[in-house]
Structure 1
């Protein structure tokens, strides 16, 4: 009997997952609230339903005789998948009662504290907080809602007065009307993806996550992720041990476990967050570097345990090839007109893929369906060559309004220590 898979999510990053599933002879059903998304053009069947409507999607699983459910690339999609799988009786590597460890920032921080995992000093505040609760905090601080994702509502603030001023804005879309305040970490930042097999951490990748400051109170924007990290040998053992502690604590014995963390020379690794999904818009770089497609790990988890084990046994995160994804963010509300320079760069040697997210006449909407204005994947070079290509693109890229105003923020490459 043909396997029938429900894929939660259908935006562009899901296309390869859908295609790989179909190439295995799996009947693919995609589901989310985006009726015109690209993934729905490739799936065998599609439903336009809010992914948070658990009962309705469970009914679809029963109607379609689904034997597997999978998603990735989004914390919210991961949460919804866990709840749907539990109610529909489908295989899933995490359980609803433990979701707060990965989805509630305060409970996550408490877990780090219990495990003696270094993390930024923080405090949880309600709207009537006392100034004295911040006496031990060093400014600037990062202030964020307790239960949101995708950098929504996150600000860098420089005083108690600013926290009061922006309090309602930060938790405007939250169900929990409290905020988390943590000290700002200026160290190097990393994205780490792993797979848990039989309770043991297998590191898939560690990447440099580069950011660029843009406005006084906005958090620095993510501008480039480079695989593998040039500092991987400095952080690998410590970061892996931390993820192993987390998996042991939460009881996760299989599936995806990712982490964002900081490190500075002479300092321990400091964890920002952990998540039960792969990172979207950059997981392709693992494939460029070593040929491993994380989508195959997700499918093998459901349908081919032997292949999953063989892949993890052979894999190493110390890639010989280098690749990077470059993100360009647009300024809120500006209308796109001239994208010629950005389009021409798509044809540059070494650019593996490029995507212009907006069409002329469309306005930039941060945190909307389009997370960036432009994105480039570059590969097949040494780290030195990847940096050279990056600088060239940073120098020559442009998207302007009809009046010639530059829409894109200017990206920067940070300086790395000579180790």
Structure 2
């Protein structure tokens, strides 16, 4: 009789429920760990711990005490980084070691890597507060200014002058362990999320998706409001994307596992890469399942327990996906929610396959650190891009959340401008 596998999963929010359920269907004993007491994946697991995943030693002890033989995390830089550190401390296998993963987390090292590999990337500088003007010399404004190793979009802003960078320098740097920032020239061309999986050192493109953004407030980075699978540019950029991701994988020593890239396309010049990450994009991997026979959860589990199965799935997959799907991400202003009726009604619109409201009546939308990432999220599906665009427009046009005074809490999105 085969001994039961025991798997530690870092993360318990909604996107982890399917991973836990698939692991249990395989007969794997699941142990979910994170700092969310009411994470929806915890009731689905065999065992759950309330623990700060940044406490490497504490989670490593749990791994030893539970006699875990595997560990998984994905969907965010923080989770992936913690997983790699914990695996190293606990003696568990992982697709990267901490020293390798640094090139996919610290933007100064990442830019150095891109330069050495001759990968096009938006022009940037590492800048310090005491020599700010000197550091910014040669860059054209507007610039995106970001922490060196921050998470998500915390501390990221658009600056149109050196003075704006100076005014917000301390706030942005507080989101990082570095006292410097990265200033990067702003690129306005088509933008993509490119999901790849590395097999034996070679990256295979799982998907190329259009990453569509909208500006909400002056000086803030435009926020992602829609991700569309597949991209209209897939055929044009897929081969170049695979070559770029393979170069990155081989540079950092990633032999088998996830590698995702954010890039721009400028037509004649091809792809310009802004970031690479050793994880799968969060809140959109579900779109791959809606447009293909491949699921990220299966790949993550196979990466730990059945590498040959992962290899077969990846090599048999085409990034020229069937059908079309999109994720719509709604952002809200701070305030108390009093009326969700209009937003809730959109859940039965044609094409909607999932609706996830993050706030209900009486809840307060907040942008404090650790707050929920969106006000609401929709997934829509159709046989064509035209069907998905039509469904998306109906949702964007009809979406509304009101506070007790009747004021609109959602930032509006003009679907015609996407």
Quick check: TM above 0.5? yes
- d(CA) in 2 for partners of 1:130 and 1:346? 49
Distance in 1, matches of 2:185 and 2:12, equals 36
2:105 to 95, 103, 106: 103
CA contact (8 A) 1:210 1:414 kept: no
Q: CA deviation at 1:171?
A: 1.1
Query: What per-residue deviation string (whole Å, max 9, x for no partner) do you get for residues 329-360 of structure 1?
Result: 001x2111111011010111211100110121
Provide closer, same or farther for how the CA distance between residues 58 and 292 of structure 1 changes in structure 2, counting only shifts above 3 A: same
The match for 2:178 is 176
2:77 paired residue number: 75
Verify the 8 A CA contact 2:230 2:324 in the aligned structure 1. Answer: yes
Distance verdict in 2 for CA 1:86–1:414, change over 3 Å: farther
Partner of 1:210: 212
- State the SS of the aligned residue for 2:131: coil
TM-score by structure 1 length? 0.97
| Distance of 1:203 and 1:135 partners within structure 2 | 37
- Alignment map for 1:87-126 (pairs within 5 Å): 87-126=89-128
CA contact (8 A) 1:262 1:269 kept: yes
Q: Deviations over 1:298-319 (max 9, x none)?
A: 1011112232122112110101
CA distance in structure 2 between the aligned counterparts of 1:82 and 1:150, rounded to whole angstroms: 18
Q: Report the 3-state secondary structure (helix = DSSP H, G, I; strand = E; otherwise coil) of the residue aligned with 1:346.
A: helix
Residue equivalent to 1:18: 20
Aligned equivalents of 2:143 and 2:73: distance in 1? 33
CA distance in 2, matches of 1:129, 1:19: 52
Query: Structure 1: any 5+ residue segments left out of the alignment?
Result: none
Residue of structure 1 in register with 2:308 after alignment: 306
Following superposition, the deviation at residue 175 of structure 1 comes to 1.9
Equivalent residue number for residue 358 of structure 1: 359
**1:30 & 1:222 partners in 2: Cα distance?**
29
Superposition pairs of residues 337-348 of structure 1, within 5 angstroms: 337-348=338-349
Looking at structure 1, the residues matched to 345 and 268 of structure 2 have their Cα atoms a distance apart, in angstroms, of 43
Q: What pairs up with 1:5-404 in 2 under 5 angstroms? A: 5-331=7-333, 333-366=334-367, 368-404=370-406
* 8 Å contact kept, 1:210–1:413: no
Q: Between Structure 1 and Structure 2, how many residues are aligned?
A: 415
Let me know the Cα RMSD of the aligned residues.
1.2
Runs of 4+ in 1 over 6 A off after TM superposition: none
Q: 2:238 & 2:336 partners in 1: Cα distance? A: 43
Matched-pair contact (CA < 8 Å) for 2:101–2:252: no
How far apart in 1 are the matches of 2:350 and 2:391? 9
Match of 2:269, SS state, is coil
Residue 415 of structure 1, CA deviation: 5.8
Shift of 1:155: 0.5
SS at match of 1:193: strand
Deviations 1:60-80 (A, max 9, x none): 111111010011001111111
Q: Which structure 2 segments of 5+ residues have no match?
A: none
Q: CA deviation at 1:90?
A: 0.9
